[in-house]
Amino acid sequence: MHKMTTQIQLACQQDVSQLVAMLTACATHMDQLGMSHWLGVYDAASVRQNLLQKSVYVLKQNSQIIGCVALGIRPADYYVDCWPNAPEADFYLTQLAVHPDYQQAGYGQLLLQHCLNLVGTRTLHLDAVAHYPELLNFYRRAGFIQIAEGMGLGDLRCLFEYRASSQ
């Protein structure tokens, strides 16, 4: 029997096509569930840009990318309009995704915990669309606290903060 090996590693430019395919599968899946906010967002150019501006980690199973997450030090551009009075964070988490065929297996938690370990005791912010209660609860269970709500990119969004010292 062939053993499945799963590992998290820093993404590189050679991963772009697999990342785009995985993120597109996620966007399509979310759209089928009534959430279209990822459609058309993650093309090759935007994924390459993320690799230059953030630390993008991929979850690979036998060399196939099945998930990813990005960790940066700057908030997304829409944060200024969405939450003009929000405190700054040391890190910002975006693009947490697990291919639909691998969801509900703990891989999202694995990627999120990887980032929390990297951040240590520093603050981490992320946002999520308010009309996806399962995702909001996922972040709350991981120890994030909602600190604000606002409109961004046409959706009501929740801003979350994680502080290791409050755990």
Residue 151: inside a domain, yes or no? yes
Q: Give residue 167's pLDDT.
A: 45
Q: Is residue 141 part of a domain?
A: yes
**Structure confidence at residue 131 (pLDDT):** 86
CA atoms within 13 A on the CB side of 22: 24
| Number of domains, the chain | 1
Residue 1 lies in a domain: no
pTM metric for this prediction: 0.91
CATH number for the domain harbouring residue 52 = 3.40.630.30
Tell me, yes or no, whether 122 lies in a domain: yes
Domain extent for 19: 6-166
pLDDT tens, N- to C-terminus, the chain (167 residues) = 455 788 999 999 999 999 999 999 999 998 898 888 788 788 999 999 999 999 999 999 989 999 999 999 999 888 999 999 989 999 999 999 999 999 999 999 999 999 999 999 999 999 999 988 888 999 999 999 999 999 987 889 999 999 876 44
- Inside any domain, residue 32: yes
The pLDDT, as a whole number, for residue 36 is 80
DSSP 72-141: ESS--TTHHHH-TTPPP-SEEEEEEEE-GGGTTSSHHHHHHHHHHHHHTTS-EEEEEETT-HHHHHHHHH
> 53 in a domain, yes or no?
yes
In a domain, 81, yes or no: yes
Whether 56 maps to a domain, the answer reads yes
DSSP class of residue 41?
T
